[in-house]
Structure 1
Amino acid sequence: MDIAILEVFIILGLTIFFFVTELFPVDKIAIFIIVSLVLLGLVTPEEAISGFSNSATITVLSLMIIAIALEDNGVIAWFAQGLQRLSILPLLILIPTFMFITAGISAFISTTAVVIVFIKIIFQLSERFGIPAGKLLLPVSFAGILGGSCTLMGTSTNLIVNSIAQNRGVDKLGFFEFAWMGGIFLVAGIIIVTIASRFLPKKDPSESLELAYEIDELITTITIKPSSPLVGKTINDTFLKEASDVTLLKLVRNGVTTNAPGKYITLQSGDELVVMADIDNLERIMTDGAHKEEKPAETSDQLVDIPKDIKLESEKAKKEPIAIQLLEILILPGSVFLGSTLSDLKRFNLQGILPIAIKKRKNLRNTKERLIRKNLDQIRIKPGDRILLETDKSSVNELNNLEGVVILKTHEPFQPKNKTKKYIATAVLLAVIGLAASGVLSILASSLTGMALLLATNCLEMNKIYTKVDWQIFFLLAGMIPLGVAMTNSGADIWLSDQLLILFEGKDKLFILGAIFLITMIMSGSVSNNATAVIMAPIAISVAAGLELPAKPFLLAVMFAANFSFFTPVGYQTNTLIYNLGIYRFKHFLFIGGILSIVLCVLGTLLLSTLF
């Protein structure tokens, strides 16, 4: 074995080891790969950075940016809104319906972005209609992966395999060339997962939080401004009565407090309302004060005031625009905040940090009744309480340095969706799909055009690109592509294919195709699907050449198998996402995903053999 081949295998082995053990983030691993290849002379410096200009890498980046615009402008949520009407369906019908819709959207939009939106929808269905979220989240993740495998732009893996094929002189894949196989895989996946869903847990993700922290809704005080559409209306005629997630605890008018105000009380300018709401409704109230009212949400005037003890601070902050975000913190025993009220938090001199609302820990007494009988500034902070803070990003470190405080999560301030931008973003998506599918433009050219149109129409802001793009995927692709180049330069791919041909000598081509499918699938279960595609695609092409068979069946085997990492929660990003919610155990992926993987491996081998 040549020394260069040995060096490539050492780098490859270390790469797989770091991926499996997660000693370093994937973007760091990618940088290590690039540097190692250059220092060992396996690639030139220009080849080492070729991944950053590779058509597949740029196409994936462009599609991720388009997905950000679609999510920010409410397009993905708009597509999925009707799903809440499906709550009346039996679970055995609801699961395949959700899977089919998820797969359909994922065929054209980033699978991860789609699954994130569906997670939110499933949470809402779980809370409002008692539908067990554990029965839907894993099927949705699996469906997203299956749907993304139906078109060339469905996943980054498809684009990488296509790019490698073109660089090796193999005919490029068509946009819908393998869609019929992807459709068969999807139907098989829906049937298997629906049947196996009886073994999925019924646990609701919100239950674990409530049991761990025993918390209720966020509580805050708002002040009605003269310009608010709430003025002159009875409580019964406003969102305060209609919204199930907003509870009016009391009304303060001219210093007089009314507990549990009646629905026929007419609201006036200057009224102070103590409300209990979830995070989404609280942000909407603070943003426009209208919720379901008829006044356009685009108005620049704030229609309600946040608590009067922090009003002046907010006005001061308006004069100096800074990047504001919402933080939710958990108060632990020993915290310096214990015994304080929201008003008292100002005495701690936390610059740039404003308390907005408090989420009280439940106890044996009735939480709502106790809060109604107290003014908000009299409620004392206790261990287990959560506090919502408005802060600029530079002040987050001050909270990290405090004893007895844990930052649980961050919330981006609610931004009302602009209907015009939503329609423009939808039109751009359809144009990108149409141009790419018809062959008028390549996927790279169409995605770049779509990104430019979104920027030109202000449907997308550059700062959103910098903060929301998953740069880990970008760097992973850019780092793995030079590894594929090094395998070619050193002859490692030819050496490996020769060893496989010796191993498969005398075996039927169907068996060899199935072995390539199985090896790729197993590798993808522990290594990133994109990294697996980069490693296995050149080997598959070489094996096909050695057998004097067409390369496409072997390339498609690598493409599908790299995507189909169902039997572990670490092979695909959406599986990792739902696994981290704490609902599923490894065994759920190993059992259900394992059965699905075996079936798809056999089915895929049989379908792809028809291309010989």
Structure 2
Amino acid sequence: MTVEQIFVLVLLAGVFVAFVREWVPPDLVALCTTAVLLGTGILTTKETLEVFSNPGVITVGAMFVLSAALERTGCIEAVGDAATRVMGRTQATALFGLVALAAFVSAFINNTPVVVILTPVAIRLCLHIKAAPSKMLIPLSYAAIFGGTCSLVGTSTNLLVDGVAQRLGQPAFGLFEIAPLGICLTLIGIAYLMIAADRLLPVRDTVATLLDELPQRKFLTEMAVLPDSDLIGKTLEEAKLATAATGGRVVDVVRGDESHRRTLDAIRLQAGDRLVLKTAVEGVMDLRGRSGIGFASESGLQPVASRSTVLVEGIVGPRSSFVAHRLSEFNLRRRYGVYIVAVHRHGENLRGKFEDVRLEVGDTVLLEGPAEGVRRLVASGDLMNLTQPEHNPVRRDKAWIAVAAVLAVVLLSAGDVLPIAGLALIAAVVVVVAGCLPHADLYRSIDWRILFMIFGMLPLGMALEKTGGVELLAGSLTGMAGSLGPHAILALVYLLALVLTEIASNNAVGVLLTPIAIGIAQQIGADPRPFIVAVMFAASSGFATPIGYQTHLFVYGAGGYKYMDFVRIGLPLDILFWVAATLLIPVFWPF
């Protein structure tokens, strides 16, 4: 081994360790890797910049835009609503309808927005049939992955593996070339979920279960401490406002423009303080008669108000600006008039100091406030409303354009009119120009973290090829397999990709293992095609851990799951797909 080979292999190991330990975000890990390769001279600037012309990455970005257009025009939600009306009879029919719908839609657009849109639909369906959302949400995530393997555009991993393979001289995959295998595995996966989901998935509490613990609340009432009030200098406990409010409670004290919500136990009231109380309707009249506090002009202060409120459950989505930030940084009370009641993460409902917790994708929050404030918060894209899904897409009249654009990409690509990267790019421009997706939302619709992680990982694959690391790793694998034959080596390649996908990014695994799979095939004198397909499918089949696929993280919090819930239902599915894929791949792509 040369010094460069040793360095690149150590760097590869370090990247996977960093992905697993999550010391820093994966996109930053990938970009640092590129910087190291450039700084050490292993790759030249020209070689590194070639990654920005990778057709797979361009297609991934364009498909993000097309998926957002379908979302904003209400197409996905309309399909989900129609399916709910048809399948909402029993838990078995609801489960089958939900997973079949998710698998079908995910074959044509990126599977992440499918899960984001259908999660509120699934929760509403569960409420209708009186089932726990934890019985439906993992199957929803799995089904979106099943469907994503039925076409080249179903998941970003397929596009990236195809792009890397093309760069290494392999012929491009057709849009539906992988469909026969994808359909077989989808049918196997749906059958497994129908048999195992109810038996293996537990009933889990979500943040919405706190609704039963909280008193009935109908009004968020603001009152002011009068200048001559006997409450001045007293703590809230000494003031006994909760008793006066007929079971209500003080949720905030606003002094000037500053909220003292997190120091309610210690604060002593001053003249002009605005008290925000939660109370039933009869409590408002009790407070009106309480001396020392007032509603409006008699206080000599600005008018205060009583507003009807709603209590809803929201979830942090993949593109939310809340990710990696604390709730306390966003001043939701001032911007929207809403209050966070609780946060749910990894099977635990957080109360108390949750505002200082850095939020993650899939965290769910219980929030309360006026309906208009909640609506504006949801419209900002930072939270998705799980309790009361929005039913008024902003561009419903443009839905036919979004659908036509996606169909054009599918049909023209299948007919080899243009490469899929070019068609997807044209379609993305069309939906924005036509108004399906507002221009202001164009750049927000693209998950830049995923794209830059891909851009950062592609140079590492190039460095492995340039230094001979690909041949070294391929030779080691074929040497270990000995004379077992191509079927056994194919099974090893799939298993290696599957294990790495469970602990690291599926896109990174696809980018790094594709050159190695091609090298293995060339060393044993076999067609590389089946080995490329093995990487493509295994990198989209991480079912046994919440980090195995990005959609798992989204349903993790919404369903109130624990880590072992994924292991319990996902590990048998991983093994089932491994066996099925090893047997079926050579049938469709002979060695």
Task: Note the C-alpha offset of 1:201.
Answer: 2.1
Aligned pair in 2 of structure 1 residues 449, 330: CA closer, same or farther (>3 Å)?
Answer: farther
One-letter identity of the residue aligned with 2:547? V
One-letter identity of the residue aligned with 1:451? A
One-letter identity of the residue aligned with 1:97? G
Match of 1:431 in 2: 408
Task: Note the C-alpha offset of 1:586.
Answer: 1.6
Task: Note the C-alpha offset of 1:50.
Answer: 2.8
Match of 1:201 in 2: 202
Q: Distance in 1 between matches of 2:160 and 2:487?
A: 25
Match of 2:550 in 1: 573
Task: Note the C-alpha offset of 1:530.
Answer: 0.4
Match of 1:146 in 2: 146
Task: Note the C-alpha offset of 1:463.
Answer: 2.2
Q: Distance in 1 between matches of 2:426 and 2:565?
A: 42
Q: Distance in 1 between matches of 2:158 and 2:313?
A: 44
Q: Distance in 2 between matches of 1:458 and 1:199?
A: 45
Task: Note the C-alpha offset of 1:199.
Answer: 2.1
Match of 2:564 in 1: 587
Verify the 8 A CA contact 2:218 2:281 in the aligned structure 1: no
Aligned pair in 2 of structure 1 residues 137, 542: CA closer, same or farther (>3 Å)?
Answer: same
The Cα offsets for residues 534-557 of structure 1, whole Å up to 9 and x where unpaired, read as 111111000000110001100000
The Cα offsets for residues 370-407 of structure 1, whole Å up to 9 and x where unpaired, read as 569888957699xxx9999xxx99x9857399998949
Task: Note the C-alpha offset of 1:25.
Answer: 0.6
3-state SS of 1:411 partner: helix
Aligned pair in 2 of structure 1 residues 396, 588: CA closer, same or farther (>3 Å)?
Answer: closer
Q: Distance in 2 between matches of 1:184 and 1:372?
A: 65
Match of 2:484 in 1: 507
Verify the 8 A CA contact 1:26 1:476 in the aligned structure 2: yes
One-letter identity of the residue aligned with 2:533? L
Q: 2:396 aligns with which of 419, 443, 460?
A: 419
Q: Distance in 2 between matches of 1:336 and 1:153?
A: 57
3-state SS of 1:580 partner: helix
Verify the 8 A CA contact 1:67 1:113 in the aligned structure 2: yes
Q: 1:470 aligns with which of 447, 457, 469?
A: 447
Verify the 8 A CA contact 1:62 1:451 in the aligned structure 2: yes
Q: Distance in 1 between matches of 2:194 and 2:313?
A: 40
Aligned pair in 2 of structure 1 residues 547, 387: CA closer, same or farther (>3 Å)?
Answer: closer
The Cα offsets for residues 142-179 of structure 1, whole Å up to 9 and x where unpaired, read as 00011001101111110111111111111211111110
Unaligned runs of 5+ in 1: 222-328, 348-357, 362-366
One-letter identity of the residue aligned with 1:440? V
Task: Note the C-alpha offset of 1:18.
Answer: 0.8
3-state SS of 2:152 partner: coil
Aligned pair in 2 of structure 1 residues 380, 96: CA closer, same or farther (>3 Å)?
Answer: closer
Q: Distance in 2 between matches of 1:550 and 1:450?
A: 34
Q: 1:556 aligns with which of 515, 533, 536?
A: 533
Q: Distance in 2 between matches of 1:172 and 1:96?
A: 34
Aligned pair in 2 of structure 1 residues 191, 387: CA closer, same or farther (>3 Å)?
Answer: closer
Percent identity (aligned): 30
Match of 1:46 in 2: 46
Q: Distance in 2 between matches of 1:595 and 1:159?
A: 27
Q: Distance in 2 between matches of 1:446 and 1:205?
A: 42
Task: Note the C-alpha offset of 1:449.
Answer: 1.0
Q: Cα RMSD (Å) of the superposition?
A: 3.5
Verify the 8 A CA contact 1:8 1:487 in the aligned structure 2: yes
Verify the 8 A CA contact 1:201 1:583 in the aligned structure 2: no
**5 Å matches for 1:69-108?**
69-86=69-86, 88-108=88-108
Match of 1:276 in 2: none
Larger mean Cα displacement after TM superposition, 119-128 or 28-37: 119-128
Match of 2:163 in 1: 163
Aligned pair in 2 of structure 1 residues 344, 103: CA closer, same or farther (>3 Å)?
Answer: farther
Task: Note the C-alpha offset of 1:459.
Answer: 1.6
Match of 2:132 in 1: 132
Q: Distance in 2 between matches of 1:171 and 1:398?
A: 50
Match of 1:116 in 2: 116
Verify the 8 A CA contact 2:62 2:425 in the aligned structure 1: yes
What is the aligned residue count?
Answer: 480
Q: Distance in 2 between matches of 1:330 and 1:605?
A: 61
Q: Distance in 2 between matches of 1:583 and 1:30?
A: 31
Q: Distance in 2 between matches of 1:494 and 1:503?
A: 14
Larger mean Cα displacement after TM superposition, 66-75 or 589-598: 66-75
Verify the 8 A CA contact 1:330 1:387 in the aligned structure 2: no
Verify the 8 A CA contact 2:328 2:355 in the aligned structure 1: no
Task: Note the C-alpha offset of 1:437.
Answer: 2.2
Verify the 8 A CA contact 1:339 1:380 in the aligned structure 2: no
Q: Is 1:481 aligned to residue 463 of structure 2?
A: no
Aligned pair in 2 of structure 1 residues 187, 497: CA closer, same or farther (>3 Å)?
Answer: same
Larger mean Cα displacement after TM superposition, 6-15 or 80-89: 80-89
Q: Distance in 1 between matches of 2:559 and 2:84?
A: 24
Unaligned runs of 5+ in 2: 222-258, 289-294, 296-303, 315-320, 335-351, 357-364, 368-376, 381-389
Task: Note the C-alpha offset of 1:11.
Answer: 1.2
The Cα offsets for residues 26-74 of structure 1, whole Å up to 9 and x where unpaired, read as 1211210110110111111122233333111111001001111211121
Match of 2:512 in 1: 535
Q: Distance in 1 between matches of 2:542 and 2:10?
A: 25
Verify the 8 A CA contact 1:332 1:405 in the aligned structure 2: no
TM-score (norm 2): 0.74
Match of 2:14 in 1: 14
Task: Note the C-alpha offset of 1:96.
Answer: 2.0
Verify the 8 A CA contact 1:359 1:387 in the aligned structure 2: no
Q: Distance in 1 between matches of 2:407 and 2:285?
A: 51
Verify the 8 A CA contact 2:88 2:125 in the aligned structure 1: no
3-state SS of 2:170 partner: coil
Match of 1:63 in 2: 63
Q: Distance in 2 between matches of 1:125 and 1:144?
A: 17
One-letter identity of the residue aligned with 2:20? V
